[in-house]
Structure 1
Amino acid sequence: MYNKIIKNTIVAFAAFTLVQGCSKKEVIELTPEFSLDALSNPSSMKQVEEVLTGAYGSLRANDYFGSGSGTGAGWSLMPDIMSDNVYEVAAETLANSRAMADWLYNSSTGQIFNLYAAPYNTIAHANIILRDIDKFTNANNQGQANRIKGQAFALRAMAHFDLFRYFAPKYDRSSTADLAMPYIKEFTVSTSVKPVRNNNKDYYDNIFADLNQAVTLLGNVDQAVNPASGLTRPFIDRNAAYALLARVNLYAGNWADAATAATNALNGRPLATTQAAFTGMYKQTDRGEIIWNVQFEAGQSGPSFLAFFATSNRSYFRPVPDIATIAGNTGLIQSNDLRYQAYFTNVPAAGSNPVPNLAITKYRGKGTLVDGNANFIALRSGEMFLIRAEANARLGGANEVTALADLNALRAARISGYTPVVLTGAALINAIADERRREMFGEGHRFFDLKRTTRVINRGAPCGTSVSSSGSCTLAATAREWTLPIPENVLGSNNNLVQNPGY
């Protein structure tokens, strides 16, 4: 018999702390990820590890890294459609994510609640593990406990950071005035627990504490977290914990720490330098430069369906001309670049007079399949090179030499016939920003990169035309929409939460 967990055992997802009335319609199946005993009264380390499996399963949710038909993909493709990387195709769109794409959302928008809820599911799993694991830890299984516990700390930190990226108005590391989110460290089912939003400094402190715990624990484990060989790396190992630490330090402006963590993450994870290795990461035919991927098995969908319906070649969103064109000789990603073939395919638009254009097909399917079932590469070496490059460029001085070397090395690994450039100062920082736009296209970064730096979006052609009508083609630095609102039903459940400005 399948075991069940109450779907609304959450502060309306404010902190996994409020219970609403339940009925048969309010339960979700979580087996075989973990059993009810593992949730409430585990009897062994094995059952605790089952909850870890469930934590990874939660990342496949439609509103985390997975997607539904024209929806979801909150931390995979959504930040691209909310930015200037893609345009909505008027002739093919389902309009399911138009409120997000055109910044028309408010506190009652359904997708806002879904984005708010998804990471808290992962946090709940992590907190269950951390609540119970010490009960079964002894001198004989300390390595196993470290392996499980380290992953739980990393997942908890990552999920909180992902919430922060959308729902925190500012990313200032030291601010005690700016509000982040509640940092939840316990799995509690109670109507009386109503957490407040931490300030940025305290929130960052908690993220860094969890990630440093993960790095320490994952350095002393009973067995390799991921197999030494194979096509995937579906679990967070020490390299991945370092990579998460590098990413968070970049947002925090801890430049030296970001560079150091990126270097540690790259240990044994070199750049992919061939088309087969680079494309293979997304097709599960080569491990390439994967540091950590979210694994989608057969029948578990994938990130693609927010932008491209693989089985019918329908494109809801396509790359803007500034990114790539069908001719392949203009835009940031051109046909002499490994990324062009890995990311795009010529898929004509629907209709009686189809127009040749590029579709976003990096998540089209595994191998030669075109079913939209693909893994999401959450962390890889290319990002680490760019984090280290940006961190060193912002440190300035002699560090610019190292930054430029990383930029040129990445481009040489991607672009056939690349000639190294010599850049300094603002020109170097801008070049690294452009390279992040190229390298991380469709991987959940562009909206956040703009938010943490320029805070301006100017969508060029074809925004606002018959090809791609839009509510707006620009997002000003002062716009409230850089920060998502706390959902109104969450505020109704927890009157200690403060709404974001402008909503």
Structure 2
Amino acid sequence: MFKRIKYSFVALVAFIMVLQGCSRKEVLELTPEYQLDALTNPSTIDQVEQVLTGAYSRFRNANYYGSGSGTGAGWAIMPDVLSDNLYETLESLANSRAMADWIYNGNTGQITNMYAAAYQVIANANIVIRDVDKFATPSNQGRINRIKGQAFAIRALAHFDLFRYWAVDYDRNSTTSLALPYTTEFIVSSNLKPTRLSNKVYYDNLFGDIQQATTLLANVDQPINPAGRASRPFIDLTAVHALNARVSLYAGLWSQAETAATAAINARPLATGAAFAGMYTESSAGEIIWNVQVESGQSGPTYLIFFPAQQRTYFRPALEVANTSNTGLIQTNDIRYSTYFSNVGGSLAVTKYSGKGGAVDGAANFIVFRTGEMYLIRAEARARMGGQDAAALQDLNTLRAARITGYTPVTGLSGQALLDAIANERRRELIAEGHRFFDLKRTTRTIVRGSTCGNSNISPTGVCTLAPTAREWALPIPEPVRNANPNLVQNPGY
């Protein structure tokens, strides 16, 4: 019987030291102790599929899409903490102060933990890719494709998430800008030490994995997400289209982003009304393309900023985004206002991840991909391609009409004004969903925090701006990793 994988580490530092010891083939290696030898010598395809399930469970890590007590949510809410979307409150215990105030360095624990969390996901994906074909037969090729295709998509997503934080820039064609190693094999060793790849080679690997996933998941034995469920906890072909759209947007491949976003939109229509609100409480699948599943007793992303049971708020939405006076970007005639926020202690708190149904246990799913983002990706891609401003504006109006009661379509927007409107809509639509810091980074803007910043009666945060040239846009390689592998060049300024 296959038992749950169990990792036993002497210390986190020891884990990280082994994590980045890889060969020129860019392999990932760990030194875990397992209860069984199933990962190095699986006896059935069922065991391989359980390793895939383990990859999904690792997305719930408190430093990936999940959270700990005032920390974590590295790719869920942390990008909003790092940006101008949220402000730290006087209730905060300063657990994430180093991140919020951009005073992190190579020894900052949260950065080390985030780095490790993504590579743990990659490890599971690489085990699946290595082993699944051992059990291929003419009669089970659809199942092989289903398992392997998900693993390729997971590997690409985790590598892209690492890239978003640790790359200095997102230039798709740069042969000099440094990304990270792209790990494609699971090998147990402590002597292999990779170098950082250029952006171009890293993107080539990303798109290669996405293409593999696309091909494999187009021919599977059964639906990956059964119909009729109020969640979509597995990556299917539509989710791969969504990943392709997101990566292509960062890469500046506008036509490819438009095509991939359109494929996702066609598969999952926009949600309105109760269906939209229900996505965050698991009462409706709405427009979810893929969500990380969180069950009772497991921590969703909320605990970085809001403790539902105690009604304690560490970070609140910037007043420029939403407020009780109804003067922010998101106002009360917008379904996003009541879905995302609640009045807690006289000010708004981000309560979208409080729990499922009426629960306030923080066990809410995290939605990684949904259709609203796809409309905004397509709108931006069209606006940047030239000659498609009208189509871009139509996408923007379609999304707003689905969210805002009594919305009157905007006409005549073009050029930079249109791009600014799309950027503002991304801020409305995707707050606390892990995008704002990266949106500002990829468009080389200055972070300018709003009216609460510097006001000691409201917030302890006094660091209010971050210039596009600041070192903090790229996180430092954790020092434990560099100590184990000096071939990993540190990011500039650290």
Query: 2:64 matched to which residue of 1?
Result: 64
1:41-70 Cα offsets, whole Å, 9 max, x none, are 100110000000000000000000000110
TM-fit CA distance, 1:13 = 3.1
CA distance, structure 2, for counterparts of residue 434 and residue 263 of structure 1: 21
418, 435, 438: which is aligned to 1:428? 418
TM-fit CA distance, 1:19 = 6.0
482, 485, 489: which is aligned to 1:494? 485
Q: Given residue 81 of structure 2, which amino acid in structure 1 is its aligned partner? A: I
1:326-383 Cα offsets, whole Å, 9 max, x none, are 13x21110000000000000000xxxxxxx1001000010001111110000000000
**Which structure 2 residues correspond to residues 311-322 of structure 1 after superposition, within 5 A?**
311-322=309-320
CA distance, structure 2, for counterparts of residue 340 and residue 146 of structure 1: 41
TM-fit CA distance, 1:12 = 4.4
1:294-325 Cα offsets, whole Å, 9 max, x none, are 00011111010000001100000000110001
**Aligned residues of 1:339 and 1:414 also touching (Cα < 8 A):** yes
TM-fit CA distance, 1:460 = 1.5
Q: Secondary structure at the match of 1:96?
A: coil
TM-score normalised according to structure 2 size:
0.95
1:38 aligns with 2:27: no
Q: Given residue 495 of structure 1, which amino acid in structure 2 is its aligned partner? A: P
**Which structure 2 residues correspond to residues 279-358 of structure 1 after superposition, within 5 A?**
279-327=277-325, 329-348=326-345, 356-358=346-348
Query: 1:481 matched to which residue of 2?
Result: 472
**Which structure 2 residues correspond to residues 465-480 of structure 1 after superposition, within 5 A?**
465-466=455-456, 467-480=458-471
**Aligned residues of 2:17 and 2:483 also touching (Cα < 8 A):** no
Q: Given residue 335 of structure 1, which amino acid in structure 2 is its aligned partner? A: T
> Are the structure 2 counterparts of residues 2 and 292 from structure 1 closer, same or farther at C-alpha, using a change threshold of 3 Å?
closer
**Which structure 2 residues correspond to residues 23-422 of structure 1 after superposition, within 5 A?**
36-90=36-90, 92-274=91-273, 276-327=274-325, 329-348=326-345, 356-397=346-387, 399-422=388-411
> Are the structure 2 counterparts of residues 402 and 2 from structure 1 closer, same or farther at C-alpha, using a change threshold of 3 Å?
closer
Q: Secondary structure at the match of 1:122?
A: helix
TM-fit CA distance, 1:455 = 2.9
> Are the structure 2 counterparts of residues 18 and 256 from structure 1 closer, same or farther at C-alpha, using a change threshold of 3 Å?
closer
CA distance, structure 2, for counterparts of residue 93 and residue 409 of structure 1: 38
Q: Given residue 402 of structure 2, which amino acid in structure 1 is its aligned partner? A: A
CA distance, structure 1, for counterparts of residue 215 and residue 378 of structure 2: 22
CA distance, structure 2, for counterparts of residue 419 and residue 75 of structure 1: 34
CA distance, structure 2, for counterparts of residue 100 and residue 419 of structure 1: 39
**Aligned residues of 1:64 and 1:74 also touching (Cα < 8 A):** yes
CA distance, structure 2, for counterparts of residue 224 and residue 361 of structure 1: 32
**Aligned residues of 1:271 and 1:289 also touching (Cα < 8 A):** yes
Moved more, 163-172 or 188-197: 188-197
2, 20, 43: which is aligned to 1:14? 20
Q: Given residue 478 of structure 2, which amino acid in structure 1 is its aligned partner? A: P
**Aligned residues of 2:296 and 2:363 also touching (Cα < 8 A):** yes
TM-fit CA distance, 1:265 = 1.1
**Aligned residues of 1:18 and 1:192 also touching (Cα < 8 A):** no
Structure 1: unaligned runs, 5 residues or longer: 349-355
CA distance, structure 1, for counterparts of residue 36 and residue 383 of structure 2: 50
TM-fit CA distance, 1:277 = 0.7
Q: Secondary structure at the match of 2:476?
A: coil
> Are the structure 2 counterparts of residues 279 and 2 from structure 1 closer, same or farther at C-alpha, using a change threshold of 3 Å?
closer
Q: Given residue 292 of structure 1, which amino acid in structure 2 is its aligned partner? A: W
1:438 aligns with 2:428: yes
Q: Given residue 294 of structure 1, which amino acid in structure 2 is its aligned partner? A: V
TM-fit CA distance, 1:464 = 1.2
> Are the structure 2 counterparts of residues 12 and 340 from structure 1 closer, same or farther at C-alpha, using a change threshold of 3 Å?
farther
Q: Secondary structure at the match of 2:309?
A: helix
TM-score normalised according to structure 1 size:
0.93
1:4 aligns with 2:1: no
Number of aligned residues: 481
- Please report the RMSD computed on the Cα atoms of aligned residues, expressed in angstroms: 1.4
TM-fit CA distance, 1:9 = 5.4
TM-fit CA distance, 1:436 = 0.3
**Aligned residues of 1:169 and 1:500 also touching (Cα < 8 A):** yes
Query: 1:353 matched to which residue of 2?
Result: none
CA distance, structure 1, for counterparts of residue 197 and residue 271 of structure 2: 40
Q: Given residue 418 of structure 1, which amino acid in structure 2 is its aligned partner? A: Y
**Aligned residues of 1:38 and 1:50 also touching (Cα < 8 A):** no
**Aligned residues of 2:293 and 2:366 also touching (Cα < 8 A):** yes
